[in-house]
Amino acid sequence: MSRICLCLTGKTLAQDLEALEIYRKYVDLAELRVDCLDPDERFLIRHFPEQAGLPVILTIRRTKDGGYFQGGEGSRITLFSRGLAFADADRRRNFAYVDLEEDLNVPSLEEAARTFGTRIIRSYHNVQGGVNEDLAAKLRSLRRIGDEIPKVAVKPVNLEDTLRMYAAAAETMNFNKIILGMGHYGVNTRILAEKMGSYLSYTSVIAGAADKLQNTSGGSSLEESAFPPGAPGHLNPRDLAEKYRFRDITAATKIFAVVGYPLNATSSPSFFNQVFTEEKMDAVYVSFPAESLKIFLELADFLNIQGASITVPYKEEIIPHLSSQSDEVKTVGACNTIVRTPIGWAGYNTDTRGFSDSLLNFIGQTSLRGKKLTIIGAGGAARAVAAEVFRLKGKAIILNRTPTRARRLALPYRFKWAATDSAGVELMEKFSDIIIQTTSAGMEPFIDADPLEDYKFTGKEKVMDIVYKPERTRLLLRAEKAGCPVLNGYDMLFRQAMYQYRFFIGTEFPAHLRNRIHI
């Protein structure tokens, strides 16, 4: 079973021990990053394993390998020697592992480690980005002696690189290894380490993590900023252990996914992993940022992903890859949910019902008859919104930066259309009962964007923005200040995710979880 390792990057051993105590129940072992310690602290590392009370990896990472050690190799070897010196017959008092890079050849160090049962992790790091080498061959070449654990840490720069990592892992399932991806594209490899046959997955004390660094005994709290991440892409150990139930993942665990680009922020993993935990399902939900839908579908086949949430910009591009389509997908021309079937991918659109259920609840109505609405945007989400506004008997105008796209969406429903310019804003005045913003304006990285900055709210409009992070976009803040009732996209997200659950799992969303799941 793959293990959770906490990478300790504090400036002092006392800080590292305090952080370890806080996270102890989530981790199986720790990595002491001596390169992060203050110089005086580095001479005190010998007794750290005994103080830690669990297996510890001794690591002194060079800057060229993504670490912080700037001294020469001679001084680094001296520190390694100090950490391994005076080994105790009780192995629990020694470092359990030592991380030695592939180009560090010091037989005396290796002999000292093996004599007292310290396993060697023979590592290779490529922090520059890109997976161009044969990783399976690299893993095999790193194994000099049978008990060594080869480690490959690379930084994929696209999903195709990530796919290469999974392929290399599949080729090397017959021996212990560590294979992990750094950065945004590598996070999923850390969650699915067991699927890759990786001996462990590294975590860090991550700034901004939900849990506070507070000692259970009520002692002093630690500043997360005092712990630089051990490597880009590290998760917080609590998230890995609890949110993703890392220790429960096996070869039989079903994988579900969300795919999009750049996919910097999504709450779907939080939602589905909470549900899987509550329902005791052997399943995990993981994010896959993908600059290519084609590559994601290849990866989905390779990992046997059972279902996926499709988000920007692939809700329309996915349609030719579907073996069957729901009526909503056919009507809207966009798909946000795919499910694996014996004959291929079945496609559904849960944005439609998620949106309409949320909007009708917001306005306290059962239809939109007699209502005049403005829809901002003409993408996949706008397609779902327009279809539901038409189905519910509303009248609308569609505004978009590219008016030809607005026209294309509006014509089948006989809606008005215009550009998001001063002329379009003027036309809005006749369609201002409800305003619905469907674009990515207002979310990262466009947090300061306001697609209706020329529109002056009167306070009579009801305003819905499907963005849910941040909780209030600039558009909603302006509307709220003018006295308008406002709604962000959280409720819509929750409702459409409940419908996705039904397609993924084949049963209705458990009613008792409606008020227990938070995203």
- Say whether pLDDT at 216 is over 50: no
The verdict on 90 and 123 lying in the same domain is yes
How confident is the model over 108-146, as pLDDT tens digits?
999 999 988 999 999 999 999 999 999 999 999 999 888
- Say whether pLDDT at 218 is over 90: no
How confident is the model over 27-37, as pLDDT tens digits?
999 999 999 99
The verdict on 160 and 62 lying in the same domain is yes
pLDDT at 519: 78
- Measured over the CA atoms of residue 283, residue 285, residue 288 and residue 294, the dihedral's sign is positive
Nearest CA to 286 out of 197, 191, 162 is that of 191
**What is the pTM for the complete model shown?**
0.92
pLDDT at 424: 95
Instruction: Answer yes or no: is 358 within a domain.
Output: no
pLDDT at 207: 60
Q: What six digits make up the tokens of 153? A: 């840490």
The verdict on 395 and 431 lying in the same domain is yes
The verdict on 234 and 111 lying in the same domain is yes
Q: Give me the mean pLDDT over the 199-214 stretch.
A: 74
Amino acid at 417: W
The verdict on 59 and 204 lying in the same domain is yes
Which sequence positions are flagged as catalytic? 315
CB 439, CB 466: distance < 8 Å: no
How confident is the model over 483-506, as pLDDT tens digits?
999 999 999 999 999 999 999 999
The verdict on 107 and 217 lying in the same domain is yes
The residue range of the domain holding 96 is: 3-245
Q: How far is it, in rounded angstroms, from Cα 454 to Cα 299?
A: 44
The verdict on 80 and 148 lying in the same domain is yes
- Say whether 389 sits in a helix, a strand or coil: helix
The verdict on 88 and 224 lying in the same domain is yes
Q: How far is it, in rounded angstroms, from Cα 180 to Cα 200?
A: 9
- Say whether 386 sits in a helix, a strand or coil: helix
| pLDDT interval class at 213 (50, 70, 90) | low
Q: Report how far Cα 463 is from the mean position of its chain's Cα atoms.
A: 30
The verdict on 406 and 338 lying in the same domain is no
The verdict on 337 and 391 lying in the same domain is no
Instruction: Answer yes or no: is 355 within a domain.
Output: no
The verdict on 91 and 171 lying in the same domain is yes
pLDDT at 210: 42
Phi, psi of 428 (to 5 degrees): -60, -30
- Say whether pLDDT at 214 is over 70: no
pLDDT at 437: 98
In the chain, how many domains are there? 3
What percentage of the chain has pLDDT greater than the value 90? 90
Q: Give me the CATH number covering residue 416.
A: 3.40.50.720
Instruction: Answer yes or no: is 134 within a domain.
Output: yes
Name the one residue in this structure whose structure tokens are 């998001």: 420
Nearest CA to 451 out of 373, 359, 377 is that of 377
Pairing between strand 372-376 and 434-437?
parallel
More confident call, 326 vs 91? 326
Instruction: Answer yes or no: is 8 within a domain.
Output: yes
Instruction: Answer yes or no: is 518 within a domain.
Output: no
The verdict on 54 and 202 lying in the same domain is yes
Q: Give me the mean pLDDT over the 48-74 stretch.
A: 97
Name the one residue in this structure whose structure tokens are 């008792």: 512
- Say whether pLDDT at 208 is over 80: no
Instruction: Answer yes or no: is 519 within a domain.
Output: no
